[in-house]
A and B are shown apart, each in its own frame.
Chain A
Amino acid sequence: MKRLAAMLAGLLLAIPAAATDYVALPGGDFASVVPADGKAALAHIAPFRLRTEPVTNAEFQAFVATHPQWRRDRVAPVFADSNYLAHWSGADTLGTGALPQQPITRVSWFAAQAYCESEHARLPTWYEWEYAAAADATRADARNDPAWRERVLAWYGRPSTTPLPSVGGAPDVHGVRDLNGLVWEWVDDFNALLVGSDSRDQDGADKLKFCGAGALSLQEKENYATLMRVAMLSSLKASDTTVNLGFRCARSP
């Protein structure tokens, strides 16, 4: 009986651990490009665990097989737009346009959330993502190094028509890979970044569109690359998919 219990426990542990790896990040006070008070407040990031790599096509294919409501031919349009998984050869096949080890893209926020839930995880918050992505191979926060900035920024100049590389870039100081330089990634609170307004508002209602302290001001203006990410994420709807927007998951410890 005890052996059975141990075996069962082993099985349960083995399911998420088999394909995926999470590492612990200490968190702490972090100067975000979007301070919570719109001025200079530090973000307080609790310790968390982050998936070392973005989710791949192969992993998402396995998820779709066990969660058929997320097949592109079954998903409700409120949860994913018409280009959801459009690069796959079929509703459950990858084909030549989507290699198994390439990061999954063309997924909506709802689909990304559902995937993470299947890994007993969640999407990282923007602060968690930004904090993790500030690292390089030797430092947890390399953002003041002009070389880091240039390297991160260079990726944004890459034409989006070139095929995506596979996941598995060089690990950073935490052991996390591909945060910069592979794909854009969803965050849980993408609809909390509040930068700019959208095309829906007209006339004098603009000033009332946002309750509270109004639209946030951006800080760390020399960190263009991160600011671009904030601008891109905050322009999205939760059902949107794009050719280079993927995700990874996080866990509270």
Chain B
Amino acid sequence: MKRLLVLLLVMIGGHAFAATPLPRDSIYQLDISLTDQGGQTAMLAQRRGQVQVISMFYSSCTMVCPMIVDTMRATRNAVDEPQRDRLGLLLVSFDPARDSVDALRQYAARRKLDAPAWTLARAEPQAARQLAALLGLQYRQLPDGDFNHSSELILLDADGRILARSTVIGRLDPPFVEAVKHALGTP
């Protein structure tokens, strides 16, 4: 009985959330699931409700990817407290074959990418391809297992609409930082 009640509550809660229709230009229209560094699997659309900076990477990358991570971190640090804590950082791997939950967790620990601010996630290969396509990111696996890929940070509003993007990697991109601050409602 208690279980039924909980189930009902969850259903009602879910319904209340779904009552505001998703904007038609939201990336959360994409029906894929992500599994994070803690092993939790959730639909992409469940990230709705938080302003986020998103990019794609792979954990065995030794070239630009560490700089993508550094640039995301620097962008977050450029936002003052307490707004900073409302910014989500999402990195999705395009190397699902090697980026297991364990690999993501180890990478997060090594680079000090702590939850809840940071989410490192993997998706099934087709879902990763769809997400990249939706975000306008390109990637291609090379014979040696590395990837060629475009490097961009993308800012999403709480409803998953793309607000801004930056190809500046390795240093702060002031207009992008401004866009992040603006999205978080800071002056």
Chain A: residues with CB nearer than 8 A to chain B?
Answer: 36-37, 41, 76-79, 109-110, 113, 122, 188-194, 200-203, 205-206, 208-216, 234, 237-238
Contacts and interface: CB of A to CB of B under 8 A. Distances in A.
Contact of B147 (A212, A234, A237): A212
A78 B24 contact: yes
Nearest to B169: A208
A100 B136 CA distance: 32
Interface residues of B, number: 39
Nearest to B94: A192
Interface in B24-82: 24-27, 29-30, 61, 63-65, 67-68
A205 B168 contact: yes
Contact of A192 (B27, B63, B126, B139): B139
11 contacts: A36-B142, A37-B143, A78-B29, A191-B132, A193-B140, A200-B167, A210-B148, A210-B149, A211-B61, A211-B150, A215-B148
The 7 closest A-B pairs by CB, nearest first: A211-B64, A238-B133, A192-B140, A212-B148, A76-B29, A208-B169, A205-B167
Contact of B143 (A36, A79, A194, A214): A36
Contacts, number: 104
Contact of A209 (B139, B146, B151): B151
A162 B75 CA distance: 51
B137 A212 contact: no
A194 B25 contact: no
Contacts of A213: 142, 146, 148
B125 to A, nearest CB: 10
A52 to B, nearest CB: 24
Contacts of B139: 191-192
B147 A211 contact: yes
Contacts of B133: 109-110, 190-191, 237-238
A245 to B, nearest CB: 15
Contact of A188 (B129, B146, B147): B129
A216 B150 CA distance: 13
Contacts of A110: 130, 133
B138 interface: yes
Contacts of A210: 64, 148-151
A238 B167 contact: no
A208 B140 contact: no
Contacts of B168: 203, 205
Contacts of A191: 129, 132-133, 136-139
A113 to B, nearest CB: 7
A237 B136 contact: yes
Nearest to A203: B168
B9 interface: no
B170 interface: yes
B7 interface: no
Contact of A211 (B29, B63, B130, B144): B63
